[in-house]
Structure 1
Amino acid sequence: MAEAFPWQQALWQQLAGRTQHAHAYLLHGPQGIGKRAMAERLMALLLCQRPEGLQACGQCKSCLLLAAGSHPDNYVLEPEEADKPIKVDQVRDLVSFVVQTAQLGGRKVVLIEPAEAMNVNAANALLKSLEEPSGNTVLLLVSHQPSRLLPTIKSRCQQQACPLPSREQSLAWLEQALPDCDEQERLELLSLAAGSPLAAVSLQAQGVREQRALVVEGVKKLLKQQQSPSQLAEAWNAIPLLQLFDWFCDWSSLVLRYQLTQDEEGLGLSDMRKVVQYLAQKSNQGKVLEIQDWILAQRQKVLGKANLNRVLLLEALLASWAMLPGQR
């Protein structure tokens, strides 16, 4: 059964305690806070033949089939490949499932994640099933970026924001999840994950601290003219493009913040504080704003799965970054 996170307790009591459920829920919030686990727990409860309080029993035929991944009244829709869109043909297969009669005589439950991965045609193909699902069907949509969903999708769902854990809750959970990391490492990972503890665990698994060290060293060499944008673009080939844009967006925001406040407590993680302060002191604020706008625009293209030339994009970013000092 999916993990029950302590920061979800109040929301779980609210959702699981209902006597009558909506035909479609949209569970949304930042990535890495446990939305998928919440959806899976709710899915198990809705399918369970003998629920115990607010939990699935785990022992009935329905629970055993679900645990085995062979429940005939359960359908999970995801991209066929990581970071690819959900296609219209996949949604048509789902619609065929929705119109069928439940084989175990109870509910049918559909889980779609991430909902924003549906392209326009796929989303439109889902609309009728969202509005009038056949029989006793509940659709659970999980979204990390609800702003990317069609308004017609959102309007047909009961929208439910999922809570972000407090810093204390996240660190307590990470202490159990990452026992080999010390407190400072867990703090850094949580900061890099924007406060999402499950994302912090995922980042640790992919070696984010080592990747970050490589990028920080490269930025320092770039500003000292010891490495070129093209050299760094090649050296960072294994680092996710979205992650790079997130870091540069964060650094440009910190530069602007320091230019406006001179607050040394707001310089971000220790690895880039001196660089951020240096850029804030040596750069024209208008130029920093221009670069930040450009970064945000390119980041949206990355999120939208645009067909981008990664090397050229990074070279353009780094060339602009290298020109910041002295542009006052």
Structure 2
Amino acid sequence: MAEAYPWQQALWQQLAGRERHAHAYLLHGPQGIGKRALAERLMARLLCQQPHGLDACGQCKSCLLLKAGSHPDNFVLEPEEAEKPIKVDQVRELVSFVVQTAQLGGRKVVLIEPVEAMNVNASNALLKSLEEPSGDTVLLLVSHQPSRLLPTIKSRCQQVACPQPSVEHSQAWLASALPDCDESERRELLTLAAGSPLRAATLQAQGIVEQRALVTDGVKKLLKQQQSPSQLAEAWGSVPLLLLFDWFFEWSQLILRYQLTQDEEGLGLADMRKVVQYLAQKARQDKVLQTQAWVLEQRQKVLGKANLNRVLLLEALLAHWVQLPGSR
């Protein structure tokens, strides 16, 4: 059974306690706060033949089939490969499932995650099922970035904003999930994950601490002219592109903030504070804004799964960055 997170308790009581359910829910919020687990928990509750209070019983035929991954009235749609789009053929398979009769005589439940991974053709193929689902079918759409969804998708769903955990909840959960990390490491991971504890644990498992050290060290060497953009573009081959663009966008924000406020408490994590302060003092504000706009534009291309030449893109990013000092 999916984990029940304490920060979701009020929302869970509201969702699971309903006598009548919407035909489609859009569960949205930042990545790493437990939306997928909430959707799976609700999916189990909707399919269960003998619910126990607000939760699935875990023992009936439906629950056992779901646990085994062989429930005939359950359909999970997600990218075939990580970071790849959901294809229109996958959605057509889902549409065929929706029009079928439930084999166990109850509901059919569809889970799609992340919904924004669908391209325009795939999204359009889903619209009919969202508008007029066949029989007693409930669609659970999970989105980390609802702003990227077609308005026609959002308008056909009941939108449910999933709560972000408090700092206390996040720290307590992360302490249990990562007992080998000390408190300062967990705080840094939460900062890198924008306060989302599950994402913090995922990033830790992916080696974000080592990746971050590699990147920050490279930026410092770039500014000291000890390494070239092309050398760093090759050296950062294992670091996810989106993570890199997130960091460079955040650093540009911190530079602008310091230029406006001179607040040394707002320089971000310790590993880049001196660099941020140095660039804020040496770079023209309009140049920082231009660089930030370019970073944001390229980040959108990365999010849109555009077919990009990684090395050339990183070389261009670093070429923008190295030109910031002395632009006053």
Q: Indicate the TM-score class for this superposition, using the shorter chain for normalisation.
A: over 0.9
| Cα distance per residue 1:268-327 (max 9 Å; x no partner) | 000000110111111111100000000000000000011111111111111111111111
Separation of aligned partners in 1, 2:245 and 2:180: 29
Gaps in structure 1 of 5+ consecutive residues: none
Equivalent residue, structure 2, for 1:109: 109
SS in 2 for 1:57: coil
Shift of 1:166: 1.0
Query: Does structure 1 residue 20 correspond to structure 2 residue 7?
Result: no
Separation of aligned partners in 2, 1:97 and 1:234: 45
| Cα distance per residue 1:134-155 (max 9 Å; x no partner) | 1100000001111111111110
1:72-111, aligned counterparts within 5 Å? 72-111=72-111
Separation of aligned partners in 1, 2:318 and 2:81: 30
Shift of 1:81: 1.1
Separation of aligned partners in 2, 1:121 and 1:327: 45
Which letter does structure 2 place at the counterpart of 1:9? Q
Which letter does structure 1 place at the counterpart of 2:176? Q
1:157-196, aligned counterparts within 5 Å? 157-196=157-196
Equivalent residue, structure 2, for 1:287: 287
SS in 2 for 1:46: helix
Which letter does structure 1 place at the counterpart of 2:210? E
Equivalent residue, structure 1, for 2:311: 311
Which letter does structure 2 place at the counterpart of 1:273? R
Query: Does structure 1 residue 200 correspond to structure 2 residue 171?
Result: no
1:119-268, aligned counterparts within 5 Å? 119-268=119-268
RMSD: 0.6
Which letter does structure 1 place at the counterpart of 2:202? S
Shift of 1:122: 1.0
Which letter does structure 2 place at the counterpart of 1:152? T
Shift of 1:232: 0.5
| Cα distance per residue 1:136-192 (max 9 Å; x no partner) | 000000011111111111100000110111111101100000000000000000000
Separation of aligned partners in 2, 1:119 and 1:224: 42
Separation of aligned partners in 1, 2:289 and 2:60: 59
Shift of 1:87: 1.1
Moved >6 Å (runs of 4+): none
Shift of 1:214: 0.6
Query: Does structure 1 residue 270 correspond to structure 2 residue 267?
Result: no
Separation of aligned partners in 2, 1:93 and 1:236: 38
Separation of aligned partners in 2, 1:77 and 1:303: 19
Query: Does structure 1 residue 34 correspond to structure 2 residue 34?
Result: yes
SS in 1 for 2:227: coil
**TM-score normalized by the length of structure 2:** 0.99
How many residue pairs get aligned? The number is: 328
Shift of 1:88: 1.1
Equivalent residue, structure 2, for 1:299: 299
SS in 1 for 2:110: strand
| Cα distance per residue 1:9-49 (max 9 Å; x no partner) | 11101101100000000000111110000000000000000
Shift of 1:118: 1.0
Gaps in structure 2 of 5+ consecutive residues: none
